[in-house]
Copies of this chain bind each other. A is one copy, B any other.
Amino acid sequence: MLSVIKIGGNVIDNPQALHQFLADFAALPSPKILVHGGGKIATQIAKRLGIETVMVEGRRITDKAMLEVVTMVYGGLVNKQLVATLQALSCNAIGLTGADGGVIRSQKRAVANIDYGFVGDVEEVNNTLIQHFLTANLVPIFAPLTFDKEGNMLNTNADTQAQEVAVAMSVAMEVNLVYCFEKNGVLLNADDDDSVIPTLTPTQFAQYKADGIINKGMIPKLDNAFKALSTGVKRVTICHASQLREAIEQGNAGTVLML
């Protein structure tokens, strides 16, 4: 079974938590793939470069200057530091953006009410190439960046990118998708880390949304997660980064999605 792991930006920002997570990831059996978020460092570096960060509904507006920042920070600084750290942990990591080998091609998002700028919606994942990397005992580490046919890099949501990679790979093999972040799972009460919902169906999700119990950024995350489960991924878990090995080895960490 292939493990596709998404690690969120908040964990990237915490060196101690990140190092423990990477040690756990390195210890997982192959085949495995990591998709990482960006973290606050892009915003910090943009600020130091005098570039203003504009967020709309939790999403970064990516003009030309911000695209250069996220290409540098996600594709260079964060991705290569993860790769070098994993190499030192004897995990044969290879850092990739969607542009590399043309592995994840997107379309620049059309302007509707909001112009998100250089933001990509995934159109095509080359699962044959990813399979080729896995067969060579490589461990793909994806930055949240894709590209289009016009030669643009495109800022891409890491949750969505993980879901798209997991679904594309599920055509050829069983896939276990784990979203790791800084909370213990989907919570009944955002202020109570012990209020984890152990299993979640689409019907329950709809009810929790209607009741306002699940809200904000958790909604698009769960939309991505349920989409993966309904389009071929065998198992989807949302859990704390420190629960990665439990999630993979025992399958009972955090919130497990069910159809």
Contacts and interface: CB of A to CB of B under 8 A. Distances in A.
Assign chain A's interface to a size class: 35 or more
Interface in A80-106: 80-81, 83-85, 87-89, 92-97, 99-102
| Number of identical monomers bound together in the oligomeric complex | 2
Interface of A: 45, 48-50, 68, 71-77, 79-81, 83-85, 87-89, 92-97, 99-102, 129, 132, 136, 138, 145, 147, 149-153
A83 B99 contact: yes
Which 10 A/B pairs are nearest by Cβ-Cβ distance?
A: A76-B76, A88-B151, A72-B72, A72-B76, A75-B76, A72-B77, A94-B101, A94-B100, A84-B99, A83-B99
A68 B75 contact: no
A95 B87 contact: no
Contacts of A136: 101, 129, 132
A135 to B, nearest CB: 9
Contact of A101 (B101, B132, B138, B147): B138
Nearest to A85: B151
A58 to B, nearest CB: 23
